[in-house]
Structure 1
Amino acid sequence: MKTSFTISIYLFCTTLFVLSFVNMYSKEQLINLILKYAFLLMLINIVFICLLPDLTRSFDFRYGNVYKGLFLQKNALGKYAVLCFFMSAWALLFLKKNNFLNIITIFFSIICIILSKSSGAAFIFMISLVLLSLFKIGFPKKTIISIMMVSFLTVFYFILSPPKIIQYLLEDLLNRDLTYTGRVYIWDITKKAIMQRPFSGYGINAFWSSEYYKEVNSKYIAFNPTHSHDGFLDIILSVGIVGLLLYILWGLILLRMCMNLSKYNYSFALLCFGIYFLILLNNIMETDLIYPYSMFYPLQIIVFFLVSYLRKEENLLEKSI
């Protein structure tokens, strides 16, 4: 389809740009640029929310007035704010420079999370606090990574197939919607579509394109969600099971590099793992893994190259000893 071809070209160009970008800077420069980007992103959103409240606000039938900032939805503001908070809090704890900038970013990030009223962002924010606490205490990298990945798989399972006790907690005690605001219906359509083309997929973002919606999906759903609201399902839908396996392999390589780094690169290795883990966690409910319109896609590439830089530094250090 035309939409899939266009997005594929855009994704390819984005990848080339990021690859050329990361090769222009050192590890320290990349981290400083990311931290400055986080500050500017939160600052601009706060300024626009203050100056243009009507344009940056929307109504949610559950929470009333919510803020989306410069993004199309409140969840986007929430998820970016959590990531900005995590990176700036890490820098405050471990880099111990540009503290004022990081403190302001943390403050603005927390305000954006609160204003977005995104329950998903609030949950990931709490997980980020746990991660930072484990980092600061000095738990072994392998222990932290193992605990977090087991937690991720557990959350993934409980959301897709919640046991009775979880259903009771969500519905009766927390008054939550077990369809996750309609995501369950989208997942049902996605799973049926995957069964028809499990290996080839439909092309990047082709299944949720306006053309395909008019032809097929309009019979089953009253709106076009633009993606599957699950990054892993969306990969299978786009490029098939083979594509998902290749992505998992890439992710395992990244995690292995993080685990194998020495104490010399402890804090930087955990920063890279933390960013990647929070992106994975976000993709249980959203789509950002291979999605050209999200900053989470290029950020994954940057994280991979940061870990590669760390490995090179470590190898050079070992040779010099």
Structure 2
Amino acid sequence: MNVFSILSDVLKLEKVYAIFGIIVFTGILTLSSRYVPSEGVGGGGTSPFERPVVLLQYATIGISLILLALRPKSAFRVVWRDPFLWGLVLMTPISFVWSDFPSFSLKRGISTLQTTMFGVYLASRYDRKELLDIVTWALGITAVFSFLYTLALPGSGIEKGIHSGAWRGPLVHKNVLAQLTALISLPTCLAAIHSPPKYRKRLWAVFIITVLLVLLTRSKTGLMVFLTLMMLVPLFKILQSRGGIAIPVMIFAIFVVSSGTTILAENWEPFLYGLGKDPSLSGRTYLWQASIDMIRLRPWFGYGYQAFWQGTGAANQVWLAIRYVAPHSHNGFINISLDLGLVGLFFFVMSLLTMFVRGIALLRIEKSPAEMWPLLYASFLLLYNQTESTIIQHNNLFWILHVAVSLSLGYVRKLSPSEVREYRDKQAYFAAMNETPSSPSPSLNSAKFSE
């Protein structure tokens, strides 16, 4: 066995590690639905697999730190691409200074910083197409496993109680599965579009399974986000080949309409029944108002990272106002404002805006369907955080992908005429020498990235 074959095996093993690492952070390996009762059934419980899965998560992070140390240049190259992201990340452990629960915020902040390193590894090790392939493999396996698990163990995988009949798969709640499967639809759809014909049928089959899971969860938010993202795919495709403002205006209109529809769907009872009814019918609007009132008391830096919703913390005032114990604000933008104030919200919004701006610039230059992935993921974050909270959480897949996607995008510009001529000269030279460049050159239509 020669050196090249050994190196090839090592690289394949590293991809397997990346795929497995993403699966670990989806939460499906805890098999929580097997041990935790459905909402409204009563009782409690925890999965015996939670601790082993946490250990796997830390092992994944540890390996990523080692691999980053072995490739410091590639790591430093991507780290500087999104300063707003790092402003947000560094606020999490520092927030112990003003937190109502200093040790808790410090511990969770350090854990979040560690989780971020796995996203940095993915961005520094793989280009965007490779990253999309890895995410597709990992999330495709997750979707198929969740589907088969529920068919094999319907007593665990299908909700009882309040949400009776809705699928939750191996996860703790139907909304958690809906959120995950709405995300899974993106990479599987894009991969099916640009994959070779021999793989296309399999990928479309996985996509169909994902769609079924979204429907079977009976989540209104999950369905609305999924439908919106699917409407955006052809519009982003048109955006790749056409100029003008018609398509961007249409995309903006879809965001506005879908956002309003999602909020209305999740808060239908208050519009119908008005105030003064049972808290179970109050929807999220009262929770949002009570949370915003608390933000006004400490607007700039919040109550400390993940400190607000602690049992003896400031959340008691919100719970008294809405008359039930909410685990979070059910809105990512409100939640981050409670944790890290308007400063933290500014960092997140600017990071998300950077993803949109660079994603659109990239989409204008590159023609591959894979280049739609950053824009679609940013859209997913924007839509889902209106009724759920997926912003900067420790050991959380959505945060890892935010880091990986954001840091995979550099500054984009078209090649100048002189750079095009230089590119052609290089390609002609290597073609004459029957060689390939030691490092890939950009295509004539490609984006050029500077750090």
Distance of aligned partners of 1:263 and 1:39 in 2 relative to their CA distance in 1, 3 Å threshold: same
Partner letter of residue 188 of structure 1? Q
SS of the residue 1:201 aligns to: coil
**CA shift digits 1:137-166 (9 cap, x unpaired):** 566487555533454345546776x7xxx9
Partner letter of residue 402 of structure 2? Q
Of 189, 192, 200, 1:99 maps to 200
8 A Cα contact 1:229 1:284, kept in partner = yes
When Rg is computed on C-alpha atoms for both structures, the one with the higher figure is 2
Map of 1:230 onto structure 2: 331
**CA shift digits 1:82-115 (9 cap, x unpaired):** 2211221122223446323312321210121121
8 A Cα contact 1:135 1:267, kept in partner = no
Partners of 2:399 and 2:341 lie apart in 1 by 18
Map of 1:20 onto structure 2: 121
User: Unpaired segments of 5 or more residues in structure 1?
Assistant: none
Shift of 1:216: 4.7
Among all aligned residue pairs of Structure 1 and Structure 2, give the percentage whose two residues are the same amino acid: 20
Partners of 1:12 and 1:270 lie apart in 2 by 28
8 A Cα contact 2:224 2:262, kept in partner = no
Partners of 1:24 and 1:240 lie apart in 2 by 33
**CA shift digits 1:32-66 (9 cap, x unpaired):** 100101111101111211122112222354x6321
Map of 1:288 onto structure 2: 390
Computed over aligned residues only, the root mean square deviation of the Cα atoms, in angstroms, reads: 3.3
Of 75, 82, 93, 2:175 maps to 75
Whether 1:89 and 2:192 are equivalent positions in the alignment is no
Partner letter of residue 396 of structure 2? S
Whether 1:191 and 2:292 are equivalent positions in the alignment is yes
Of 224, 234, 247, 1:123 maps to 224
Deviates more, 1:261-270 or 1:14-23: 261-270
8 A Cα contact 2:238 2:247, kept in partner = no
Map of 1:320 onto structure 2: 423
Partners of 1:275 and 1:287 lie apart in 2 by 15
Aligned length: 310
Partners of 2:281 and 2:223 lie apart in 1 by 15
Partners of 1:229 and 1:93 lie apart in 2 by 34
**Could you state the TM-score of these two structures normalised by the residue count of structure 1?**
0.83
Distance of aligned partners of 1:92 and 1:178 in 2 relative to their CA distance in 1, 3 Å threshold: farther
Partner letter of residue 3 of structure 1? F
Partners of 1:120 and 1:317 lie apart in 2 by 47
Deviates more, 1:17-26 or 1:134-143: 134-143
Deviates more, 1:130-139 or 1:186-195: 130-139
Whether 1:34 and 2:159 are equivalent positions in the alignment is no
Distance of aligned partners of 1:75 and 1:191 in 2 relative to their CA distance in 1, 3 Å threshold: same
Distance of aligned partners of 1:213 and 1:202 in 2 relative to their CA distance in 1, 3 Å threshold: closer
Shift of 1:263: 3.3
Partners of 2:170 and 2:118 lie apart in 1 by 24
Whether 1:46 and 2:143 are equivalent positions in the alignment is no
Partners of 1:10 and 1:146 lie apart in 2 by 40
Shift of 1:290: 1.8
8 A Cα contact 2:303 2:338, kept in partner = yes
Whether 1:274 and 2:376 are equivalent positions in the alignment is yes
8 A Cα contact 2:224 2:258, kept in partner = no
Distance of aligned partners of 1:17 and 1:86 in 2 relative to their CA distance in 1, 3 Å threshold: closer
Whether 1:66 and 2:166 are equivalent positions in the alignment is yes
Distance of aligned partners of 1:186 and 1:277 in 2 relative to their CA distance in 1, 3 Å threshold: same
Distance of aligned partners of 1:180 and 1:92 in 2 relative to their CA distance in 1, 3 Å threshold: farther
Partners of 2:321 and 2:114 lie apart in 1 by 34
Of 206, 209, 232, 2:307 maps to 206
SS of the residue 2:159 aligns to: strand
Distance of aligned partners of 1:119 and 1:152 in 2 relative to their CA distance in 1, 3 Å threshold: same
SS of the residue 1:67 aligns to: coil
Partner letter of residue 64 of structure 1? S
Partners of 1:69 and 1:115 lie apart in 2 by 10
Partners of 1:154 and 1:241 lie apart in 2 by 26
Map of 2:442 onto structure 1: none
Partners of 2:339 and 2:301 lie apart in 1 by 8
Distance of aligned partners of 1:214 and 1:271 in 2 relative to their CA distance in 1, 3 Å threshold: closer
Distance of aligned partners of 1:313 and 1:116 in 2 relative to their CA distance in 1, 3 Å threshold: farther
Partner letter of residue 250 of structure 2? I
Shift of 1:283: 0.8
8 A Cα contact 1:200 1:239, kept in partner = yes
8 A Cα contact 1:194 1:201, kept in partner = yes
Partner letter of residue 320 of structure 1? Y
SS of the residue 1:126 aligns to: helix
Distance of aligned partners of 1:152 and 1:89 in 2 relative to their CA distance in 1, 3 Å threshold: same
Map of 2:251 onto structure 1: 148
Shift of 1:121: 0.9
8 A Cα contact 1:60 1:66, kept in partner = no
8 A Cα contact 2:183 2:380, kept in partner = yes
Partners of 1:272 and 1:305 lie apart in 2 by 10
Partners of 1:128 and 1:178 lie apart in 2 by 32
Shift of 1:199: 0.5
**CA shift digits 1:188-236 (9 cap, x unpaired):** 2211110110101011211112342786555345544322110111111
